[in-house]
Amino acid sequence: MDVQFLQQNWMLLAVAAVSGAMLVWSFIGGKLSGIEEADTLKATRLYNDDALVLDVREDKEYAAGHIPKAKHIPLGQLAGRLKELDKFKDKPILVTCRSGNRSAHACRVLKKAGFETVYNQAGGIIAWERANLPVTQK
């Protein structure tokens, strides 16, 4: 490789390296933390197998439509309301939000609190609705 090219474009190469590392981390980071992503098919299986569905969106988002039987605890309140979930510590929990970002954070909170089997719903309620799965406002 041309040394002059490397010297002139070191910033571009650094950005490419950091971007690549972030991409790799997005694939393995969850597995290393013990949090598994659940695509729509796996989320449906968990739902049908009576896993707890925990919706961590804000009140208005939840009221606009959520997965039937989902327990609602906004992410900002989760740490203070963990006692409500104690009976699910050794049961599967599917955590959902709008797109999967807040639920990933909630999964880390749950794992740190000792919850054994926690799944982050990939794509959140957006993916759920795109798959034409049931949503309720009740």
Instruction: Answer yes or no: is 135 within a domain.
Output: no
Q: Write down the pLDDT at residue 8.
A: 80
Q: Is the pLDDT of residue 30 over 70?
A: no
Instruction: Answer yes or no: is 137 within a domain.
Output: no
Task: Show contacts of 108-117: CB within 8 Å, 24+ apart.
Answer: 108/33, 108/35, 109/78, 109/79, 109/82, 110/78, 110/82, 110/85, 111/33, 111/34, 111/35, 113/82, 114/89, 115/85, 115/88, 115/89, 116/89, 116/90, 117/90, 117/91, 117/92, 117/93
- For the chain, the average pLDDT equals 90
Instruction: Answer yes or no: is 136 within a domain.
Output: no
Q: What's the domain count of the chain? A: 2
Q: Write down the pLDDT at residue 1.
A: 59
- Report field, pTM of the whole predicted structure over 0.85: no
116 and 51 within one domain = yes
Mean pLDDT of 109-132: 95
pLDDT, one tens digit per residue, over 47-66 is: 999 999 999 999 999 999 99
Q: Write down the pLDDT at residue 10.
A: 83
13 and 25 within one domain = yes
Q: Write down the pLDDT at residue 79.
A: 96
Our answer to whether residue 97 is catalytic in this structure is yes
Q: Which of 67, 78, 93, 97 is catalytic?
A: 97
The boundaries of the domain holding residue 20 are 1-33
